[in-house]
Chain A
């Protein structure tokens, strides 16, 4: 639907959007271009193009600053976490939306209530809990915390998706002789791909960028995640002043998300559409 407005107003609207989008693109382009510069070039001509596109900064950050190890940790841990969140939240959200049993409403509120609890209140007890379970300084322990704190939002979003199908769907599956579990696997799951993809993307972005918990629960430097690695690099910049190398690190941290986003942008937007409206 569009309003019929005069030409001048239309041009103005396009101009505003183009300007805003240009700022977004240029900021990313600036990060990328700076990562090819030398520190001298950065300080002398901060807004100019690099003299040559050399990959020295990338080589340096990959081996010297050990970013390769952090990158591998993140590439391994984040997808596993995201999958486990789905394995837990999709069935839970399904029965909380499309089954009838006692305490259904209570349990749903109990999960959604978690969205309002600042994770920071659980920080110190979680620290002791992980230490009791010998899961401090372990990526497994951190994963449990990530999964537990992501369930509220995931179930909330999925509840919106599962609520948007007509009841007749389950009934048709029932008439066709499906058991409840079969109809969940064969009817509901295939129809929910948009919702599942949306939740996947949000959790992926959130956990990939998270660094407060990762900073506190992981002390062993070899187990660092990329987000903490970048943060630690930023911290060390005040001594080394090696900013261009940091930018190479930032590019590496952004790259998977940007690639992901380019292919998924439409699905993210559509997913938000369904989820938000029902929520």
Chain B
């Protein structure tokens, strides 16, 4: 370590203290309290509580809605992630084959990420509408009437939701992967291509191993954000999310704040939130274990 790093030690306390205070008071402290809440039963939206041990957790494990919501989470995580990364890698290969308008393409692919989820849901709601939606209109004009379905009906709604999620987020992961590739020296590719490697070979032999670290970060980021995803599924079917697309965060919201039902089961909702946090950590650890490789120096 350099001397200047030691000199910077003086700054540590004043530079860290303000953010630590805000972070602990308004995030860590409530999050840890949430853990405590999960062992209590709350009578409505008040602080009267009775200790119930792990009964909130055992109740969750036999709660059909909980398992249904968990399944929605896992479907979004797995299928959404699969298609996002397949598409992002396909875009990446194609991106390396072209020379012009690269930054324009990259920016436009990223653009849906800045649009508010509510706007995205309103837009796609009109695309998927059974009667006058664009998709069924298009299918009709191509003579594919037999493919017309009610895209937002219970059987198809997960497919539609995952499609919208992929459309929205693929650009973000594409840009991350591009950023990994931009760090690979051209000479590495040139020597491989001189030796007669095809783009596909170069992709598997050079690109993938060289951007593995970036890919791992992207996968972990996707796991975390897909399991926590709230806004997009919440407004996908208008102002009240339909039960087929309730994921765990939506179910927690409904338990605590779902105003029409006035359930207000805070302790139980907190237990489910704890379970969600555990699931997030398990997936992050598994993916880290599976994806850790010796890093490649170049």
- B22 contacts across to A, CB distance below 8 A: 88, 144, 147-148, 151
B262 within 8 A of A: no
A115 within 8 A of B: yes
A76 within 8 A of B: no
Contact present for B228 and A91 (CB under 8 Å): no
> Which segment of B147-155, B269-277, B289-297 sits at the interface?
B269-277
Known: A118-B227, A122-B34. A107 touches B16 (CB 8 A): yes
* Nearest-neighbor residue (CB-CB) of B38 within chain A: A121
Pick the contact of B112 from A24, A46, A208, A266 — CB < 8 Å?
Answer: A24
Contact present for B11 and A184 (CB under 8 Å): yes
Q: CA of A12 to CA of B199 in the docked complex: distance in angstroms?
A: 15
A209 within 8 A of B: yes
Most buried by B among A14, A125, A205, A254: A125
Contact present for A180 and B111 (CB under 8 Å): no
Pick the contact of B97 from A9, A123, A173 — CB < 8 Å?
Answer: A9
> Which segment of B57-65, B76-84, B176-184 sits at the interface?
B176-184
Please give the number of chain B residues whose Cβ is less than 8 angstroms from any Cβ of chain A in the complex. Answer: 109
- B11 contacts across to A, CB distance below 8 A: 91, 94-95, 99, 180-181, 184
B7 within 8 A of A: yes
Q: CA of A210 to CA of B116 in the docked complex: distance in angstroms?
A: 8
- B interface, over-half SS: helix
Please give the number of chain A residues whose Cβ is less than 8 angstroms from any Cβ of chain B in the complex. Answer: 104
A111 within 8 A of B: yes
Q: Mark B107-123, 1 if CB is under 8 A from A, else 0.
A: 11111111111110111
Contact present for A120 and B249 (CB under 8 Å): yes
Pick the contact of A101 from B3, B12, B26, B28 — CB < 8 Å?
Answer: B12
Q: CA of A116 to CA of B214 in the docked complex: distance in angstroms?
A: 18
Contact present for A122 and B31 (CB under 8 Å): yes
Contact present for A257 and B115 (CB under 8 Å): yes
Q: CA of A110 to CA of B214 in the docked complex: distance in angstroms?
A: 22
Interface residues in A238-272 by Cβ distance below 8 A to B read 238, 246-247, 250, 253-254, 257-258, 260-261, 265-266, 268-269, 272
Known: A124-B256, A266-B107. A148 touches B26 (CB 8 A): yes
Pick the contact of A46 from B132, B256, B276 — CB < 8 Å?
Answer: B132
Pick the contact of A124 from B10, B37, B116 — CB < 8 Å?
Answer: B37
- A129 contacts across to B, CB distance below 8 A: 25-26, 29-30, 33
- A122 contacts across to B, CB distance below 8 A: 27, 30-31, 33-34
User: Separation in Å of the A74 CB from the closest CB of chain B?
Assistant: 11
Contact present for B19 and A88 (CB under 8 Å): yes
User: Separation in Å of the A47 CB from the closest CB of chain B?
Assistant: 6
Pick the contact of B119 from A118, A253, A265, A279 — CB < 8 Å?
Answer: A253
- B91 contacts across to A, CB distance below 8 A: 16-17
B53 within 8 A of A: no
- A1 contacts across to B, CB distance below 8 A: 96, 181, 184, 186, 189-190
B280 within 8 A of A: yes
- A interface, over-half SS: helix
A50 within 8 A of B: no
B1 within 8 A of A: yes
Known: A118-B273, A230-B118. A167 touches B103 (CB 8 A): no
- B134 contacts across to A, CB distance below 8 A: 46-47
Contact present for B98 and A89 (CB under 8 Å): no
Interface residues in B42-81 by Cβ distance below 8 A to A read 47
B4 within 8 A of A: yes
Contact present for B231 and A95 (CB under 8 Å): no
Taking Cβ atoms with an 8 Å cutoff, the residues of A that contact B are 1-5, 9-10, 12-14, 16-17, 20-21, 24-25, 27-28, 30-31, 43, 46-47, 87-89, 91-92, 94-96, 98-101, 104, 107, 111, 114-126, 128-129, 144-145, 147-149, 151-152, 155, 167, 170-171, 173-174, 180-181, 183-184, 205, 208-212, 216, 227, 230-231, 234-238, 246-247, 250, 253-254, 257-258, 260-261, 265-266, 268-269, 272-274, 276-277, 279
Q: What 8 pairs between A and B have smallest CB-CB spacing?
A: A235-B239, A148-B26, A99-B8, A170-B4, A125-B33, A122-B30, A91-B15, A273-B179
8 pairs of residues in contact across A and B, judged by CB atoms under 8 Å = A17-B95, A123-B269, A124-B34, A126-B26, A174-B4, A212-B253, A230-B119, A250-B116
Taking Cβ atoms with an 8 Å cutoff, the residues of B that contact A are 1-12, 14-16, 18-20, 22-23, 25-31, 33-35, 37, 47, 91, 94-101, 103-119, 121-123, 126, 132, 134, 137, 175-176, 178-184, 186, 189-190, 193, 199, 202, 213-214, 217-218, 224, 227-228, 230-231, 234-235, 238-240, 249, 252-253, 256-257, 266, 269-270, 273-274, 276-277, 280-281, 284
